[in-house]
Structure formats: C-alpha cells, structure tokens
Amino acid sequence: MRIFFIGCVEFSHFALEKLLLIQNENLKIVGIATKEKSDFNADFYDLKKDAQNIPCLYSRNINDKESIEFIKKCKPDIIFCLGWSYLIKEELLKAYPIIGFHPSLLPQNRGRHPIIWALFLGLKQSGVSFFVMDKNADTGRILAQKSIKISKKDDAASLYKKSTKTALKLLEKLTLKLSQKALKNKNFKELLRKLSTPQSAGNAWRKRDFKDGIIDFRMSTEAIYNLIRALTHPYIGAEFIYKGKNYKVYKAKIIKNSQKNLECGKVLKADKKGILIKTYDGAILLYEHTLNDLPKKDEYL
C-alpha cells in the first residue's frame, strides 16, 4: 500500500512519524505535501523536516496543477490528509481515495476549531474520527473513531495531547488493517467503502472570530475560565482590555466570591500571584498574563 501524506500541523508530524515507524514491505510512504509557513495554523509544523529521503512538496494549494502532478508522480494507492485546513476538490477526490481526520466524534461538531469550541462550551466528552473524505467538510463515511473524556482541568494543550495519543493508536490499527486487506483487494475505494459507515445528520462549528477571544467579565466565572483554557497554548490566548489596550491571559483559576453588590470587571486584588477580578457570579484569578504594570485594587478591566 503506497501512501501519499498531506499535513502541516503538529498532529501531522506525529501521525507521519507513526506511519514511518510501521512501514513494511506492504506499507510505504511515497510522498509528502506540506507548507513552508502558515499564518493560519497556530500549531503549524513543516513536515519537510521529517521527510528524510521521501519526495516532499511545499504546496500553496493542494488542488493546483503543480500539486496534483507531484502526487501523480509518486504513484500512491491512497492519500492520508491529516491536519490540512483546506477543502480538497473534485479532481483529487476522484483520482484517489483520501482518508481525513477530525478531532471530534463525527457527525457531531464538524467544522472549525473543534478543540477550542469543545473546551469553551464546557463539553465533558469529545473524540477523534478518521473518515473517507468527500467534497464537504468532515462529512465523509466513518472508518474509525474513539471518544475522549474532557476534565475540568483540561486545557487546549492537554486536550490536544489526549486527542493525539488516542488518534495515533487508532491510526496504527486502521493503517495496518488496510494494508493487510489490500493484499486481497487492490481497489482501495471499494475497500474503504466496505470498511466504513455513512454519517447521519450532525452540527458544524463555525470559524472563531476575533471577538470570540475577548473576555467580558459580565460572563459567568465558568464561561470565562472555559474561554481561557480553550485559547491557551498552543493557541493565541484569550484577551482582556485594560485602559483601552488588549492583553493576553493563558492561565486562570475560579475563585468563590459572594459579594453580589460589586460590579463585574472590578479588580479585587492584584499582586505577583495574579489579578483577581469580579465576575457575574463570583471571581476569577488571572495568574499567567501579559500585563506588566498591574492594575490597582478597585480599578476595572
């Protein structure tokens, strides 16, 4: 089974590393497409560093003539597209069976920023799914998936790590199964159809906007906490406004506060341990942030 690999994020790196590790006489990575840089992906990773002696292309658009010709020269049986935030168009979809990946339990929570939205919405469960790609985003037939529990202590980094660990185990099992099945059936499109199930109706998350990352202290304490943990590393961080300027916050802690007569956004305390702010239903301590000159008690954020 000859695999062409497409990806440009940290998960792509770990997935490619796993596939290279399990290569054998029936399983080979024959080509890679990645990006040289990305202003879009906070977890961007250049796979050329992993390519070794494998042909590797920097692709601006995987659907353009140059990319398609490069893929054809590699003569793959199948394409793995794992960590590529762009739709693949009809020409490639018709030419090759393509396996995609999404860090949610499809058909639920298709679309953009699945780790961020899962944390911000306070979900207790997410998952990982491998599927056969079609013309729409994350709607193809399911090949393999597994659920993941989300704890209150999880943040973007820990959930990314959980998702990656679970997905890599699933990827190894799926790939070895495909390579064995392919010994008897070289029609990979037919093989993937036999091994997959169609998706039912589900929802799709929208692209996160800049305003989605701004903390409004009129929100509940839990909602603010969820926003901060959703946008922490490897992502860009939630933001708060102080004296007309925006500052990042990466870590916070929920603090009980029963002073219902105090306004939201009021600074209750500020020292080296953090900035304690009154929220709608309590208080929150911002203890990893980019504000150097701390606000004074009774000022407002």
Question: Residue 265 is part of a domain; what is its CATH number?
Answer: 3.10.25.10
C-alpha separations of 251 from 102, 281, 295 in Å? 26, 19, 18
C-alpha separations of 174 from 32, 120, 159, 279 in Å? 20, 31, 22, 47
Flag whether 301 is in a domain.
Answer: no
The percentage of residues in the chain with a pLDDT greater than 90, rounded to a whole number, is: 95
Q: How far apart are the first and last CA of the chain?
A: 58
Within this chain, do residues 216 and 281 fall inside the same structural domain, yes or no?
yes
Looking only at Cα atoms, what is the longest distance across the chain? 73
**Residue-range definition of the domain harbouring residue 37:** 2-205
pTM: 0.94
**Per-residue pLDDT at 38:** 85
**Per-residue pLDDT at 265:** 98
Flag whether 57 is in a domain.
Answer: yes
Sheet with strand 56-58: strands edge to edge: 56-58, 28-34, 2-6, 78-81, 98-102, 125-132, 142-149
Q: Say how many C-beta atoms besides its own lie within 10 A of residue 280's C-beta.
A: 16
Within this chain, do residues 229 and 199 fall inside the same structural domain, yes or no?
no
**Per-residue pLDDT at 83:** 95
Residue range 193-221: average pLDDT? Answer: 96
Say if residue 118's pLDDT is above 90: yes
Query: What is the H or E stretch that residue 193 is in?
Result: helix 188-195
Within this chain, do residues 159 and 272 fall inside the same structural domain, yes or no?
no
Which residues sit opposite 269 in a β-bridge? 276
**Domain final position from 205, 226, 244:** 205
Residue range 134-145: average pLDDT? Answer: 96
Within this chain, do residues 189 and 239 fall inside the same structural domain, yes or no?
no
Within this chain, do residues 17 and 147 fall inside the same structural domain, yes or no?
yes
pLDDT tens-digit map of 161-181? 999 999 999 999 999 999 999
**Domain final position from 163, 180, 205:** 205
Flag whether 238 is in a domain.
Answer: yes
CATH number of the domain enclosing 67: 3.40.50.170
Within this chain, do residues 188 and 232 fall inside the same structural domain, yes or no?
no
Flag whether 296 is in a domain.
Answer: no
Say if residue 287's pLDDT is above 90: yes
Flag whether 155 is in a domain.
Answer: yes
Say if residue 299's pLDDT is above 90: yes
**Domain final position from 141, 170, 205:** 205
Say if residue 270's pLDDT is above 80: yes
Within this chain, do residues 192 and 87 fall inside the same structural domain, yes or no?
yes
Within this chain, do residues 55 and 182 fall inside the same structural domain, yes or no?
yes
Are 55 and 79 a contacting pair, CB within 8 Å? no
Q: What is the pLDDT of the chain when averaged over all its residues?
A: 96
Residue range 48-72: average pLDDT? Answer: 96
Number of domain units in the chain: 2
Say if residue 40's pLDDT is above 80: no
**Per-residue pLDDT at 186:** 87
Between CA 58 and CA 8 the distance in angstroms is 10
CA proximity to 115, closest of 289, 235, 250: 235
Q: Which residue has the tokens 């469960």?
A: 125
Residue range 90-96: average pLDDT? Answer: 96
**Per-residue pLDDT at 41:** 80
Cα 44-45-50 angle, rounded to 5 deg: 170
Flag whether 300 is in a domain.
Answer: no
pLDDT band at 85 (very low <50, low <70, confident <90, very high): confident
Flag whether 294 is in a domain.
Answer: no
- Residue 83 token pair: 């960590």
Say if residue 219's pLDDT is above 80: yes
Within this chain, do residues 181 and 228 fall inside the same structural domain, yes or no?
no
DSSP 139-174: -SPEEEEEEEE--TT--HHHHHHHHHHHHHHHHHHH
Within this chain, do residues 109 and 227 fall inside the same structural domain, yes or no?
no
